[in-house]
């Protein structure tokens, strides 16, 4: 998947330049942070794409598994077009028989909040790595080297690539769609 932020954006935020060998690690961290945000949201959200999947309507209704829906390209059964009605987030067809739904979904650009959170999460993980040599503090409660000290009152609960519960709720509310999650699509 495409990361919500770039190495250049992280460099700008931290006022730091990453060398070639560090860039690979930073790209991985940005990707991991983006994947974490997608898991919190419960949707892939970005980038925009067209997917086809087999739907099994209930009483003729099929909730589309990704958000935001840009358009429903086609609904077919055994390669034959099936009449359908599109409503925001779902389609209706004349029966409960399986249909292949092709639709376009996702955003053209990364929302600023997702870009910002990706940078913050990657920077936190990078800092933890710089301090401890690991991506998470686990049970770290104190660390001191010469004049440097690090102590986590919460036992490292907020270290690594994680959001606070409040931030998770806010991200899910802004970009998610409840419990609807696309598991797999073929194109």
Which region, left, alpha or beta, applies to residue 2 given φ > 0 means left and ψ of -120 to 50 means alpha?
beta
91: phi then psi, degrees, rounded to nearest 5: -125, 160
pLDDT of the residue at 184: 44
As averages over each run of 10 residues, the pLDDT of the chain (187 residues) reads 94 93 92 92 90 96 93 96 95 96 95 94 82 53 58 53 80 71 44
pLDDT of the residue at 135: 52
Cβ-contact 41, 172 below 8 angstroms: yes
- CA-based diameter of the chain, in Å? 73
The per-residue pLDDT for range 28-72, each reduced to its tens digit, is 999 999 999 999 998 888 999 999 999 999 999 999 999 899 999
The CA-based angle 71-76-80, given to 5 degrees, is: 135
DSSP the chain: ---SS-HHHHHHHHT----HHHHHHHHHHHHHHHHHHHHHHTS---S-EEEEEEE--BTTEEE-SSSSEEEEEEEEETTEE--EEEETTEEEESSSS-EEEEEEES-SS--HHHHHHHHHHHHHHHHHHHHHSSS--TT---EEETTEEE--TTTTTT-SS---HHHHHHHHHHH--TT------B-
DSSP 74-90: EEEETTEE--EEEETTE
pLDDT of the residue at 181: 45
Record the pTM. Answer: 0.73
């Amino acid at each position: 998947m495409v990361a919500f932020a770039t190495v250049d954006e992280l460099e700008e935020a931290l006022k730091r330049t990453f060398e070639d060998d560090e860039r690979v690690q930073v790209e991985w961290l940005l990707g991991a942070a983006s994947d974490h945000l997608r898991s919190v949201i419960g949707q892939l959200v970005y980038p925009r794409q067209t997917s086809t999947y087999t739907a099994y309507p209930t009483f003729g209704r099929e909730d589309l598994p990704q958000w935001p829906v840009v358009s429903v390209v086609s609904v077919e059964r055994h390669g034959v077009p099936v009449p359908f009605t599109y409503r925001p987030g779902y389609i209706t067809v004349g029966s409960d028989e399986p249909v292949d739904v092709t639709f376009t979904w996702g955003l053209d650009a990364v929302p600023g909040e997702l870009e910002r959170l990706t940078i913050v999460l990657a920077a936190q993980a990078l800092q933890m790595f710089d301090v401890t040599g690991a991506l998470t503090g686990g049970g770290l409660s104190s660390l001191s080297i010469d004049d440097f000290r690090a102590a986590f009152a919460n036992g490292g609960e907020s270290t690594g690539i994680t959001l606070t519960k409040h931030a998770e709720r806010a991200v899910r509310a802004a970009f998610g769609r409840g419990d609807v999650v696309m598991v797999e699509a073929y194109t």
